Amino acid sequence: MTTELIDVPRGLTGVAVAETALSDVDGEQGYYQYRQYSATDLARRVSFEEAWHLLVIGRLPDAGELERFRVRVATAQARPELERVVEVVLRARPQPIDALKAVFPLLAGARGSRPLYDLDEASRLDDAIEFGAIASVVLSRAQRGRLGLPPRASDPTRGLVANYLAQVTDAVASPEHERALSSYLVAAMDHGFNASTFTARVIASTGADLASCLAGALGALSGPLHGGAPARALASLDEADGDPAAWIGAELAAGRRLMGFGHAIYRTSDPRSDLLREEAQKLGGPRVAAALDFQARAEEHLALHKPHRPLKANVEFYASVVMEQCGIPEEMFTPTFALARTVGWTAHALEQARDSKIIRPSARYVGPPLRR
């Protein structure tokens, strides 16, 4: 018996494929939330670790819970098996994203990780925190290795964001830079069923180990249509230097897309862009002033070019400005995004693992008929 297929939009746009209590995105109203909280409000007022605790454990921590959570993270980052695996991987001097993609499965083997299907809830949570904790270490170590720099010692009195900044920039992070980057990372932790998150959930639905879910999600994120846009948005700002209006007009006349503008979901302003514009303005400087001018001129041109489709600055545009102002080099923009999104992937993998139904859609065959 042949199963009747249902036609759905290309890319599954607008199709609900699962239920989640983790996050929701309302593109018409221009907001998104983590559990019961506005995600951008959280980004303005809580630390990276607090938002992480909310997504994977289900609630914002009190002071005692937060301290215990930070200890769990620090312990995971200092495990000897992680150091051994990182040393092996970094001998090839890979790009940071590639290093993380390699470390996840290798570390899973070294620590004897088991499939999510075979673990109880507490053990799954242990894996989620362990693998979420290593992302900042692997990414920053890979970057330093490519530059020929030894690793810096972490400051136990500072949080994950401050220590990551110190590793990547080779300087002690200022409170202003730590706050700005923390806002970005919290805002970027999750955003509905994007391509990489859906990939993680598909793999989790098979009962596979968490490292496989994360490696697959990283593969999806590395694509330029998903996680590769921040540096491209900054390149537009560089190329338009001096006469942004003329450059923007020429790009649109040539039929090229303005990187950092427009979003597949938001039909109003991207709330993440609004948040990061605030953070950029707090940091100030000529580069921020140029970005503000570029945004204003770009949105004016886009309103005339496509009057029936609002195209506003998206998260990539001001994310690139904020990261640059914090001293993060362009080649680390996407890896830094991956650091944040790893938290969301682990939370989604935990949620998907509670459902025993494998994700197994169909495809409509459009090839030549069977030859008999």
Catalytic residue ranges = 263, 316
Distance in angstroms (rounded) separating the CA atoms of residues 311 and 187: 20
CB-based contact 139:151 (threshold 8 Å) = no
Residue 175 main-chain phi, psi, to 5 deg: -55, -35
CB-based contact 49:159 (threshold 8 Å) = yes
DSSP assigned state of 255: T
Q: What is the DSSP string of 91-134?
A: TT---HHHHHHHHHHHHHHHTT---GGGS-HHHHHHHHHHHHHH
Q: What size, in residues, is the chain?
A: 372
Closest CA to 209 of 318, 105, 331: 105
Host H or E run for residue 23? strand 23-26
Structure tokens at 333: 């923009």
CB-based contact 191:347 (threshold 8 Å) = no
Structure tokens at 71: 């200890």
Residue 169 main-chain phi, psi, to 5 deg: -95, -10
Q: Which residues of 323-355 are buried (b: 16+ CB within 10 A; e: fewer)?
A: bbbbbbeeebbbbbbbbbbbbbbbbbbbbbbee
Distance in angstroms (rounded) separating the CA atoms of residues 113 and 111: 6
Q: What is the DSSP string of 303-315?
A: HHHSTTS---B-H
How many CB atoms lie under 10 A from the CB of residue 307?
A: 8
